[in-house]
Structure 1
Amino acid sequence: MNNAITPILRPLTLPNGAVLKNRLIMAPMTTCTGFYDGTVTSELVEYYRARAGSIGAVIVECCFIDTKGPAFPGAIAIDSDNKIPGLTRIADAIKSKGSKAILQIYHGGRMVEPELIGGKVPVAPSAIAAPREGATTPQALTAEEVDVMITKFGDAVNRAIKAGFDGVEIHGANTYLIQQFYSPNSNQRDDKWGGSRDNRARFPLEVLEITHKMADRFAHDGFIIGYRFSPEEIEVPGIRFDDTLYLLEKLAARGLDYVHFSVGQLLRPSIVDTSDPTPLIEKYRTLRSETLAKVPVIGVGGVINKTDAESALDHGYDLVAVGKACIAYPDWADRIINNEQLELYIDSTQREALIIPEPLWRFSLVDAMIRDVSVSGRKYKAGVYQEKVEAEALKLKINVTLDTDRITDISLVKDDTLDVDFTTTFENLRTRILVANSPHVDAITGATTQSEALKKAVSRALATSSKEHVIDEGGNPNAPQNYDVVVIGSGGAGLAAAIQACDEGAHVVIIEKMPTIGGNTIKASVGMNAAETRFQKLKGIEDSKELFYEETLKGGKFKNNPILLREFVELAPEAIEWLASHEIELNDITITGGMSIDRTHRPADRSAVGGFLISGLVKNVNKRNIDVLLETSVAEILFENDTVTGVKVVDEYNDSRILNAKSVIVATGGFSANREMVVKYRPELDGFVTTNHKGATGSGIAMLQKLGADTVDMGEIQIHPTVEQTTSYLISESIRGGGAILVSQEGKRFFNEMETRDKVSAEIIALPEKSAWVIFDEQVRLNNKAADEYIGRGFVVSAPFPNELALKINMDQDALQQTLARYNQFVEQQHDDDFGRATALRHPLNHGPFYAIRIAPGVHHTMGGVTINTDTAVLDSHKQVIDGVWAAGEVVGGIHGANRIGGNAVADIIIFGTLAGRRAAAHARR
């Protein structure tokens, strides 16, 4: 079909007289790119500008109309007039390129997570939790609040008009608030807003009515009003297709310019009557009235190429909304008009060129499309491999289909005895693995255990296939393999070392005894310390390496190895830049205890650094096709003729083999999770919980001692002052660095919260309860994303006022209020008269809600370990280099002295990890 007659380029006149220049629309898609308060970022404006032009209209992602309305982080808002300027920039950008600009408006209702709204309870038609695991029971809106909510939708329409949008799309889909009012599952009210179908339809009709009123009063005649709907709900009771048609008929009678099917695929049949394969669009066209038939209908889902769009029109849609293809190809409409045949993937190096904001790049929708376009070096035996996945209550089987160099499919095996209530997580993770061509991808948020089990099952299939490939080629899968560099441990130090060694031309393998990548690094929370960095200068922070050196030396009680510490401080800014060059940017800055200046670098969204860091490093490992052996232990480092020759490894099936290598990097971490080892050096720590993962057992130290390695500072074991004791979860120092205080059960501050960890821990242990409370307010929460994680995990007690918080945690109300008042006075005068706190006096703690987390110390970091020189080469007891072996990270002693400063461990692993990779690769090439 040529362009002259292709129906997708024909104009369409809407019922209100507005003309769309063609039948193509950019679908509204979450970008997670707004500021914390919902205002628009410049990145978002340019993202929409790049995608407008040849496409007929752009429907901008949903804007929440009320402070309790955001259903996801980074959502943009239209809840107040101060949001109008930013939204105007988006509307202007789209319209300047010649496309119509339509804004979707919504309220998340019971789908809103409390951590997104400051720990508050979400609202809904009825106090009924959403049918998903861990869902919060919402607060039912009163009749008066329902009226107010309708007014807020009207206010949002007025603001959209003022911002210059050509129209609004009322979001009545995706189980958000409008759909919740119409659903008999979520709406079980007994007033005029619930009960009968007519009563349940009242809320969406009133929202449409107030939209018309605002448009009549303030907009031009061609202002577009659309409505998005989900045709069915699977729940019982729930919305059925005839219910949807009933509502749409009423909406059409009042006046709509289009309706927008919210389905994953254009031709999806019923999800309720699974025996009927008829596409819902066909049922819709058959059953709709003459009035509804005059309202154009938008289809969405699965449109990539011109034939897909033309097929949508052939099946009865009037307009076609395009989602992921518009992200992957900003000029999508131009490409299909020119008959290009497109594949739905994004080159992993093209984020900036495609003008995709960083938060959207990390969002699952996009992450699943990112592909390294380089050719894989892995070799498999083509076929289907079946594996079991077992995690907690989850038991299922999967089939992994492999080509000779690629994972081509992953599917669930039907088995009535297996639990497959796992569909969404499985589909999302399946897509990530297929696109990455690797099981080493980010876990699905909220389903980490299941994700790791599935990833491990895929890894097993790959290992089995690789062995069969070797056998088919006439080889022995247990025969020795040759590498240049073996890296033991997959925490931050090991991954950084492997990446750097690979970039220096070495053939590298990573060996990890645990079933997952990440080591202890993935639990890191606060950030990475460095002085005199580019990001400090951009923020006007004056710092010096000399001051960083002196404060780290003082924090370590002057026991630090001064030569290693000087190297650490000198190389820290380069390490920050190394991460940035690998698309791991730490450009927000805070402070930790023992530091006098903001030099702790963290992600822009102020989230915990560990997950962000490991995710970025793993993507770099995948890009380089570096081999990773999980659940594989190093039985020994092989040493002949005074040099390393490789390692002997044992896999999960107890099969052993030799990996020959000229260089071995040990990055196995510390020994905080080895209680016997901890107690051997520090008997008084018996019984303390640890923040470390189970693999932190000191195995690397033992291996290196067999080679004659010397150790230093083994008795220097740090306890972290703020650990949630029931889960051993670390409460980040960034919370105190953000302005929080520590309060005893008496309701009083008892020490300088920003002192070093050893001193703060000692003061907590000295309290009668041997525990304390971290107290903070809404301002601290908003500036520290980790706080939302703690709220989500259930660690946090909250209340709107300090006296109510005191009651909840069994604390004297007057004492707490007096403590806060006195601390707030110190903040105002920027001087702590009681304990001399001189940093992180950021703002008074006076904005409710107020939060409290009960904490006590836990074993956190072992400063002792093997000795190294400034090249990271391991030294023996005579200070001589052990040829061919390097070490980096917590396995090494001497850098931190008697106490590690928060934020220095992440710096340590990147600085010395990359250095080890460089030196090991050079040694292997000799």
Structure 2
Amino acid sequence: MHSHNELLHNEILSPFTLPNGTQLKNRILMAPMTTCTGYFDGSVTNELVDYYHERAGSIGTVIVECGFIDDRGLAFPGAIGIDHDNKIEGLAKIAEAIQSKGSKAILQIYHGGRMVEPELIGGRTPVGPSAVAAPREGAATPVALTSEEVDDMVTKFGEGVRRAIKAGFDGVEIHGANTYLIQQFFSPNSNQRDDKWGGSRENRARFPLAVLEITQKMVRQYADPSFIIGYRFSPEELEVPGIRFDDTMYLLEQLAELGLHYLHFSMGYTLRPSIVDKHDPIPLIQKYTAMRSEKLAQIPMVGVGGIVNKSDAETAIEHGYDLVAVGKACIAYPDWTDRIARGETLELFIDSTQREALTIPEPLWRFSLVDAMLRDLSSMPTGKFKNGVFQEKIQDETHELMLNVSLEIDRIADIELEAADNLDVTFTTSFEETRTRILDANTPHVDAVSGATTQSEAVKKAVTKAMAKSCKAMALEEGGSLEPPCYDVVVIGSGGTGLAAAIQASDRDTSVLLVEKMPTIGGNTIKASVGMNAAGTRFQKLKGIHDCKEKFYQESLKGGQGTNNPELLRSFVNNAPEAIEWLADRGIELNDITITGGMSTDRTHRPADRSAVGGFLISGLQRNITQRDIDVMLDTDVLEILMENGAVSGLRVKNDENEELTIRAKSVVMATGGFSANQEMVVKYRPDLKGFVTTNHKGATGTGIALLERIGAGTVDMGEIQIHPTVEQTTSYLISEAIRGGGAILVNQKGERFFNELETRDKVSAAIINLPEHYSYIIFDEQVRRNNKAADEYIGKGFVVSADSPRVLADKLGLDMHAFLATLERYNLFVEKQHDEDFGRTTALRHPIHEGPFYAIRIAPGVHHTMGGVTINADTEVLDVYGNVIPGVFAAGEVAGGLHGRNRIGGNAVADIIVFGTMAGRHAANWAKQ
């Protein structure tokens, strides 16, 4: 006799036949989950193909995340599209990757409707059944579709299905859930139309039924009968009026009459009861099985939500589901089906060092869905605890409280909050939940309590510190010593320079420590937007761009007004293509190319999706730091560089516990950046810049220069401080040169151009300062926005003014409308002739500015880059005031002066940090090994 559990086990893993005769190899599906990994235009990336390939195989069916059917339909950044035939090729790679492992591939198709945020569609207004905004903070009011546009929309769904068939998918899932457009048509909340598409329940059901009908038509025309059609629905809405369960049952019966192959309940938990009637504990699936007709009962039902272990899947099947979709567990365990087949019991978390091993794309890794599952297993204190109570402070925005952590040899015994006045209930509630999670798991690396992330993180950090203290005490008791740690190379500063230096030193088989005064990694690099300059690269050749190092050298020299250190500049230009390859070898590919001011050709390398280079670079470098197990100390100030017999011997630092520690080191790399955020220091060298905002992060205060001066380092060009011409003044946000490099122009308050927009930064800044109003506007159109992902970020920040026509834009900005229209007309003529008669602009005359919407950002100059710093030679060795090498001390990036001369060319700083950062890491490692 087989036990009940055995039968269920076999049932889950045994084949299942759909109503059209198509056989699935088991009852398990991977749920469709957004990865945010598409390119800027919705096409498929290689990362995405790898992600699905890795998860296919033993699972019966993979439902691929939703593809938008129209370019106003994307509901999240990095969404994939099925809106154009040019998407077929990329989607085919996903289908093929899944099928090559023996699983079925189904593509979900959708339109976000009123749930689309304007910044995702270039500031345009989203569309919906009616002009009624979604009931959430800051939601845009959509434009109601005309009846003709509703017909078009049905056709677009049909076209999406045709493309899915052409791409080789085994089926499509119509996304009628999650308050997207199809659900919006059925909902009395979002659909308040009075034509045939709205009003009565029957009329509101017309749109979902029309989408199913056109899907069937496309399948008859282009696919064979084995092609699967599924439909996903959300059973209820909280809104009043809103969809109730009996409305849903009505719709499902109608869909069943037309015929389809499965239905998919969209819920966070398979056995969820009603969200409308809080007093009714009966799971909706049970209500559904009791209420459905015989016809509806023939259509298999997929359950989703909270399936982590085999027992969860069995419970779902017992309650009336036929198939089970697995979501987050498939991200955490690509081989989930194999694991449950082996009888493993799983816990839902992801080791934060395992992103690449689990083939999780970078954008998904940063998504809240995955973020909540991450556990930093790398920083867990190791070793035995000393028994006792260890006290730590907890700090969040409003409290400073004492926490008592009781530890026993191998476990956290208890966590208590000391009584304090005015403790608010929300804090104590979230504390209790965090405490329970930590004690249950015997680790502080647990999920933060949603809605109380900062408080949870503060508690977790305090517990971690108590454990570390206890481990240290135990080690001392067992005869260990608190000898200061010794490293071959210590890198100070964790921007791009510091990370590149640490990675390169580690790759030379040395022990490396990275010290950062701020609480997070990234420095000023994380704010870099435009890209990385290099001449004669493989990527330029692939794009047919002819460029040479000599031209790059001469243009950088001209940009610096001939005052650049020629030895540094020559080394910089010669090593730049290698630095591009160094990044590519470490999984950080900058293969799209644009131009910046002062350059004669496209040589600014950036990510393929044309996003800002900084975040892309830092996340890629940080991933490499994690892979190499490089030690990192955050929140740590360097107080002094220690010298013995004229050479470096270590550092004195103060950690976030205010403890002073001595760290022994054989060599030191200073990578602390410039001093743009130190107003006092800026004004000391340039009194004329008093009161200017800065684009830099608050850690750019010149501490590294001061530390090196104390051991005798010389400085150069300290008065050469670059202001960036295009800074949004209320937020100090830098507007990337890539916007002008993409074809934007600058106009004054009269609505006229006043200078060559792609001159060097110092000249453009001076021209803006000389205007009577001391500010100007960057003007661009939809074409520029489409090709520069940064523009969407600016729109999202809320400082872009947009309008459907130049007339309306002029009106919004208070410009002389006739002068502004004449300016655009004249500029567009120059683009046509490829000759700027007024200001001699020769580059980036890319397109006429004529495709709406039109955009404007008000800008003025801000302090951006300090060209001066400590003196180094071409091997990145720091020189003293007499020009002699200080043994064992290296510096790179903005902390060092001389490379840029009097003005830095946009895109040269990112090249500087990688070229000289890797060089400093290499030389510091060689020195340490001597």
Q: TM-score, normalised by structure 2?
A: 0.86
Shift of 1:189: 5.5
The offset of 1:902, in angstroms, is: 0.8
Letter in 2 for 1:896: H
Please report how far the alpha carbon of residue 334 of structure 1 lies from its aligned counterpart in structure 2 after TM superposition: 6.1
Q: Tell me the distance in 1 between the aligned counterparts of 2:833 and 2:110.
A: 43
Partners of 2:40 and 2:195 in 1: CA distance: 36
Distance across 1 between alignment mates of 2:551 and 2:542: 19
Match of 2:323 in 1: 319
Indicate the residue corresponding to 1:180 in structure 2.
Answer: 184
Greater mean alpha carbon deviation, residues 893-902 or residues 626-635:
626-635
For the residue of structure 1 that corresponds to 2:641, the secondary structure is strand
Q: Which amino acid aligns with 1:469?
A: C
Q: 1:155 to 1:552 in 2, by over 3 A?
A: closer
Residue 503 in structure 1 maps to residue 507 in structure 2: yes
Please tell me whether the aligned partners of residues 471 and 477 of structure 1 are also in contact (alpha carbons under 8 angstroms). Answer: no
Alignment of 1:818 with 2:822, yes or no, is: yes
The superposition leaves residues 537-590 of structure 1 with CA deviations (integer Å, 9 ceiling, x where unpaired) of: 222222222222221111111111111122222222222222222222222111
Asked if structure 1 preserves the Cα contact closer than 8 Å seen for 2:669 and 2:924, the reply is yes
The superposition leaves residues 314-336 of structure 1 with CA deviations (integer Å, 9 ceiling, x where unpaired) of 33220122345555666665676
In the TM superposition, what is the alpha-carbon distance from 1:140 to its structure 2 partner?
A: 3.5
Distance, in Å, in 2 between the alignment partners of 1:38 and 1:867 is 47
Answer yes or no: is 1:746 the counterpart of 2:750. yes
Q: What's the CA shift for 1:724?
A: 0.5
Matched, 1:681 2:705: no
Which of 769, 774, 790 is equivalent to 2:773? 769
Aligned to 1:462: 464
1:663-674 alignment, distance < 5 Å: 663-674=667-678
Alignment match, 2:535: 531
Secondary structure at the aligned position of 1:661 is classed as strand
Choose the corresponding residue for 1:585, options 576, 585, 589: 589
Q: Within 1, Cα distance between the matches of 2:195 and 2:553?
A: 68
Q: Output the amino acid matched with 1:492.
A: G
Task: Note if 1:659 corresponds to 2:663.
Answer: yes
1:356 Cα deviation (Å)? Answer: 6.4
Q: Which amino acid aligns with 2:396?
A: E
Give, in whole Å, the separation in 2 of the partners of 1:454 and 1:741.
47
Name the SS of the counterpart of 1:657 in structure 2. strand
Shift of 1:769: 1.2
- The answer to whether the aligner puts 1:624 opposite 2:624 as a matched pair is no
Q: Do the aligned partners of 1:711 and 1:866 also contact (CA within 8 Å) in 2?
A: yes
Residues 1:25 and 2:67 aligned together = no
Q: Given the alignment, which residue of 200, 225, 229 partners 2:229?
A: 225
Give the structure 1 partner of residue 921 of structure 2: 917
Distance 1:94 1:387 in 2: 50
Does 2:426 match 1:418? yes
Cross-structure match for 1:390: 396
8 Å contact 2:394–2:458 — kept in the other structure? no
Query: Which SS does the other structure have where 1:610 is aligned?
Result: helix
Letter of the structure 1 residue corresponding to residue 906 of structure 2 = G
Q: Are the counterparts in 2 of residues 394 and 420 from structure 1 also a CA contact under 8 Å? A: no
Aligned partner of residue 658 in structure 1, secondary structure: strand
Tell me how far 1:726 sits from its aligned partner: 1.0
> Is 1:696 aligned with 2:704?
no
- Paired residues of 2:111 and 2:182 also in contact (CA < 8 A): yes
Contact 1:377/1:405 (<8 A) preserved = no
Is 1:607 the counterpart of 2:611? The answer is yes
**CA 1:360–1:894: 2 relative to 1, 3 Å:** same
For the residue of structure 2 that corresponds to 1:120, the secondary structure is coil
Query: 1:240 Cα shift?
Result: 4.9
Q: Which moved more, 1:572-581 or 1:847-856?
A: 572-581
User: Which amino acid in 1 is paired with 2:604?
Assistant: T
Against the structure 1 CA distance between its residues 192 and 341, is the aligned structure 2 distance closer, same or farther, given a 3 Å change threshold? same
User: Bigger CA drift: 5-14 or 902-911?
Assistant: 5-14
Indicate if the aligned counterparts of 2:381 and 2:471 stay in contact, CA closer than 8 A.
no
Task: Report SS of the residue matched to 2:505.
Answer: helix
Taking structure 1 as reference, are residues 768 and 334 closer, same or farther at Cα in structure 2, changes over 3 Å only? same
Distance of 1:624 and 1:896 partners within structure 2: 32
Given the alignment of the two structures, is residue 296 of structure 1 paired with residue 293 of structure 2, yes or no?
Answer: no
Deviations along 1:110-162, one digit per CA (max 9) or x if unpaired, are 22121221210112234444444443333334455445434443444455456
Asked if the contact 1:526/1:902 (under 8 Å) is kept, the reply is yes
Provide closer, same or farther for how the CA distance between residues 120 and 574 of structure 1 changes in structure 2, counting only shifts above 3 A: same
| SS state at 2:476 partner | coil
Distance 1:96 1:566, change over 3 A: closer
> Which letter maps to 1:314?
E
Q: Aligned pair 1:79/2:83, yes or no?
A: yes
Please tell me whether residue 804 in structure 1 is matched to residue 808 in structure 2. Answer: yes
CA distance in 1, matches of 2:7, 2:890: 63
- Distance in 1 between residues matched to 2:677 and 2:857, nearest whole Å: 24
Residues 1:122 and 1:681: Cα distance change in structure 2 (over 3 Å):
same
Query: What is aligned with 1:486?
Result: 490
Which position in structure 1 is the counterpart of 2:476?
474
Q: Distance in 1 between matches of 2:827 and 2:418?
A: 60
Letter in 2 for 1:474: L
**Could you tell me which residue of structure 1 aligns to residue 868 of structure 2?**
864
1:604-641, Cα deviation, whole Å (9 max, x unpaired): 11111111112222222233333333333222223344
Q: Deviations over 1:193-239 (max 9, x none)?
A: 56666665454344445545555676655553322122344556654
Residue by residue, what CA displacement relative to the aligned partner does 1:292-320 show, whole Å, maximum 9, x if unpaired?
33321112234456555444323322012
- SS of the counterpart of 1:260? strand
TM-score, normalisation: structure 1:
0.87
- Structure 1: distance between partners of 2:399 and 2:222: 55
How far the C-alpha of 1:346 sits from its partner, in A, is 7.7
Residue 875 of structure 1 aligns to which amino acid in structure 2? L
Aligned-partner Cα distance in 2 for 1:597–1:453? 50
Q: Secondary structure at the match of 1:607?
A: coil
Per the alignment, residue 115 of structure 1 pairs with: 119
Q: SS at the partner of 1:298?
A: strand
- Output the CA distance in 1 between the equivalents of 2:475 and 2:770: 66
Correspondence for 1:706: 710
Given the superposition, is the C-alpha separation of residues 830 and 398 from structure 1 closer, same or farther in structure 2, using an over 3 Å criterion?
farther
**Quick check: 1:377–1:625 contact (8 Å CA) kept in 2?**
no
**Letter aligned with residue 549 of structure 1:** Y
In 2, Cα distance between the equivalents of 1:395 and 1:373?
27
Greater mean deviation of Cα atoms: 411-420 or 499-508: 411-420
- Listed as ranges, the gaps of 5+ residues in structure 1 are none
Deviates more, 1:172-181 or 1:587-596: 172-181
Q: Alpha carbons of 1:404 and 1:129: their partners in 2 closer, same or farther (altered >3 Å)?
A: farther
Paired amino acid for 1:793: K
State the AA in 2 paired with 1:73.
Answer: P
- Secondary structure of 1:660's counterpart equals strand
For structure 1, which segment, 404-413 or 16-25, has the greater mean C-alpha deviation from structure 2 after superposition?
A: 404-413
Unaligned runs of 5+ in 2: none
Q: Distance in 2 between matches of 1:844 and 1:246?
A: 53
Change (3 A) 1:57 1:577: same
Separation (CA, whole Å) in 2 of partners of 1:375 and 1:358:
21
Structure 1 counterpart of 2:730: 726
Shift of 1:745: 1.9
Displacement after TM superposition at 1:419 (Å) = 6.9
1:478 & 1:334 partners in 2: Cα distance?
A: 47
Distance (whole Å) between structure 2 residues aligned to residue 685 and residue 389 of structure 1: 37
> Following TM superposition, by how much is the alpha carbon of 1:663 offset from its aligned partner in structure 2, in angstroms?
2.6
The offset of 1:732, in angstroms, is 0.3
Alignment match, 1:781:
785
The number of residues matched between the two structures is: 913
Supply the distance in 2 between the matched residues of 1:301 and 1:38 (Cα, whole angstroms): 27
The one-letter amino acid of 1:466's match is: A
Match of 2:556 in 1: 552
Distance 1:284 1:409 in 2: 45
Whether the 8 Å CA contact 1:740–1:774 is kept in 2: the answer is yes
